[in-house]
Amino acid sequence: MQSNKTKRSKSINLVSMRKSFSVKPLALGIAAIFLTACGDDQDAAVFTSVDDCTNANPEFAAKCKTAYEDAVKEAERTGPKYNSQSDCETEFGNNQCRVVQRDSGSFFMPLMAGYMLSNLMSPRGYYSQPMFTSHSRNSSYRNRWIGADGHDFGDNRRRTMKVSEKSLKPKPTVTKTMSRGGFGSSVRAKSSWGSSSKKGGWGG
């Protein structure tokens, strides 16, 4: 592998390497709880409006509309919430936030940028969820489809995607995990040994 070309990574996207939201939201939305799915990924599509959906699926115009309305409600319920407009705009971009009034007071939320739909044709019923995106240069969400809990669904130029069943199931009530804690006992044993591993890491 001898060569004279540069020997280091050509470029690294520094924005995407930043860890802290420049400003932390009050609430990060509710991360949905899902069933242990032993099944496969599903096809999903993102639409930016009811018309966008209807144009793609003329036979499902009514579903496009109800799914949109569901997503709007879900967006308000679970989307990220900020104390001030400027906090919200730092993350999502100028003019991308709106004020929401509640009994408990007012806060700021990003505008819904689209909604994800899957199983539109299924007799068992479709599933929809709100999508957000950021126009802010300083945000790792810039030009990405982002779910209410901050899940990154990829580049926002993409309109169709495979998503795991878990990102579609909204609120299952059953868990099928039988037991936990079956890994990690060696660490507890070795940690109690004493002072050598001061850091407590188990890499090498």
Partner 1 sequence: MLRVAIPERANWKRKAEEFGFKFHTMHGEAYWDESAYYQFSLEQIEQDLEAPTEDIHKMCLAVVDKVVNSEELLEKFQIPQHFWQQISDSWKNQDPSLYSRLDFAYHGKGPAKLYENNADTPTSLYESGFWQWLWLEEQVNAGKIAKQADQFNSLQEKLVHRLAAIAKHYDISQMHFACCQDTDEDRGTVQYLQDCAKESGLSDDFVFIEDIGLAECGSFSDLQDNKIETLFKLYPWEFMQREEFGQSIKNAQVNWLEPIWKSILSNKALMPMLWKMFPNHPNLLAAYFEDELSKATETKLVKKPIFSREGANISVIENGKTVLHADGPYGEEGFIYQAYYPLPQFGNNHTLIGSWLVNDQAAGISLREDSSPITQDMSRYLPHIIL
Which spans of this chain sit near partner 1 (rule: CB under 8 A)? 1-4, 6-10, 12-14, 16-20, 31-38, 41, 151-154, 161-164, 166, 175-187, 189-190, 193-204
End-to-end, the C-alpha distance of the chain in Å comes to: 27
Burial of 126 (0-12, 13-18, 19+ CB in 10 A): middle
Q: Which is nearer to partner 1, 13 or 101 (CB)?
A: 13
Q: Find the radius of gyration of the CA atoms of the chain.
A: 22
- The residue among 89, 91, 73, 202 whose CA lies nearest residue 140 is 91
Q: Which is nearer to partner 1, 38 or 62 (CB)?
A: 38
Q: Which is nearer to partner 1, 62 or 189 (CB)?
A: 189
Rounded least distance, CB 42 to partner 1, Å:
11
Q: Which is nearer to partner 1, 69 or 152 (CB)?
A: 152
Rounded least distance, CB 148 to partner 1, Å:
15
Rounded least distance, CB 97 to partner 1, Å:
23
The values of phi and psi at residue 53, to 5°, are: -70, -45
b/e map of 52-79 (b: 16 or more CB within 10 Å)?
bbbeebeebeebbeebbebbeebbbebb
Rounded least distance, CB 151 to partner 1, Å:
7
Rounded least distance, CB 30 to partner 1, Å:
12
Q: Which is nearer to partner 1, 10 or 137 (CB)?
A: 10
The most distant pair of C-alpha atoms in the chain lies apart, rounded to whole Å, by: 68
